[in-house]
Amino acid sequence: MHSRQMTISDLVRDGVVTVRARPDIRRICLELSTACNLNCAMCIRSHWLPPVDRGHMSEEVFSAVAGSIDRLPSLQEVHLGGFGEPLLHPRALDFIDRLRCKGVEVSLSTNGTQIDEPTARALVKLGVLRVVVSVDSAKPEEFSQIRGQTGKLPRVLQGLFRIRDAKRAQRAGRPRLGIQTVLSRANASAKGALVQAARRVGASSLLVSHMLPYTCDMKDQILYTGPRHTGCQFSSASLFGGSGWPDEGGDWLGWGIVDLPRDRWRTDRSCPFVGGKWAAISAEGEVSPCYALMYTHSEYIFGRHKRVERLSFGNVLQDPLDSIWTSEEFVKFRTRVELFDFPACVDCELCDSCDFAAFNQNCWGDEVSCGDCLWAQGIIRCP
């Protein structure tokens, strides 16, 4: 759900637009690794420009981030995610332990293949807040086709069962388990079975996102529609039924939910990253405002190709995270995004032939434009 969008009147004090630079990061997305043991068809990792070396976050980068935590009084959570598999990092559990010792909540996004019994027990013992596992089909053959490897679905589900069983053995209510799935024409028919899979493994939520195409071949696989679409409208609710399930985690009985995306472009836009005061930190230590701007890549917005350049406001090896966050350029950018003062390129009849839109710029002179970001629409989503 989108919060109320900031307006310019919110910033006016005595006739002057005033923005205070505060170290008010609430959530850090920490990319422990750019490596992954899978080769998913829809993943951005195969389409970075130029290709990024696959590697793990160094001790120096992690220590620089951890050392800034005491200067971030609003910090609520560190989410281990990004575009690689965090549990491939040989020190992932040690890093979680060090963050927990600082009193920080830690959550984790994973493909689930690395959750053996010791890892499951450790995640429970360390008090991880939430573990979200990516499962794009409940059909083994379809899952293998999407993931680029055969035989992985049983292993992924087994990892979820291991966490569920470890919670029961330790009489723990956390981590909360979640499943994330990406919706496209290639796997839409199998989505109903994911609700049953979520219930079996003890998940408390099923987060649904649409697919962001990174290649020309992928652009025809989307199910969401743009403002000029005149045919029948797709409804993700029709695949999942909107129903939930009892979640018997720990000593409490909850209710598991299906969290659905928007299925069509709308006029209201709001950035969940900037609005939620996220800082996205790559494995190299580069600090970006969101996932979408972490790496240079190509993508397709309703069939229109555009190139998106990486946007970094600094590196934690060179400047403290709180200093980067409160720098003039970063504060200006976040304020602009909170106001969402960008033209809506998708609504423009000239966008298909616009050179500005092709390079993620706009006709108002912005070098970086968020005007047609699908995350801001709630069409593309992440934990």
The tens digit of pLDDT for each residue in 279-318 reads: 999 999 999 999 999 999 999 999 999 999 999 999 999 9
* Dist. CA 134–CA 268, nearest whole Å: 28
Q: Which two tokens stand for residue 46?
A: 């195969």
Prior bond of 140 cis (ω within 30°): no
pLDDT in tens, the chain (383 residues): 445 565 555 655 555 566 788 999 999 999 999 999 998 888 998 888 888 888 999 999 999 999 999 999 999 999 999 999 999 999 999 999 999 999 999 999 999 999 999 999 999 999 999 999 999 998 999 999 988 888 789 999 999 999 999 999 999 999 999 999 999 998 888 777 898 899 999 999 999 999 999 999 999 999 999 987 767 788 998 888 666 888 765 566 678 999 999 999 998 899 999 999 999 999 999 999 999 999 999 999 999 999 999 999 999 999 999 999 999 999 999 999 998 989 988 888 888 888 898 999 999 888 899 999 999 999 999 98
| Cis bond upstream, residue 175 (ω within 30) | yes
β pairing state of 12-13 and 16-17: antiparallel
Find out whether 173 and 167 touch, Cβ atoms under 8 Å: yes
- Name the β-bridge partners of 306: 299
Q: To 10 degrees, what angle do helices 117-125 and 92-101 make?
A: 10
Torsion from C-alpha of 174, 55, 144, 130, nearest 10 degrees: 10
State the pTM of this model.
0.92
Chain segment 339-364, per-residue pLDDT in tens: 898 998 888 888 888 889 899 999 98
What six digits make up the tokens of 278? 């996220």
Burial 346-383 (b: 16+ CB within 10 A, else e): bebeebeebebbeebbbbeebebbbbbbbbbbbbbbbb
β 105-110/77-80 pair status: parallel
Are the beta carbons of 184 and 142 closer than 8 angstroms? no
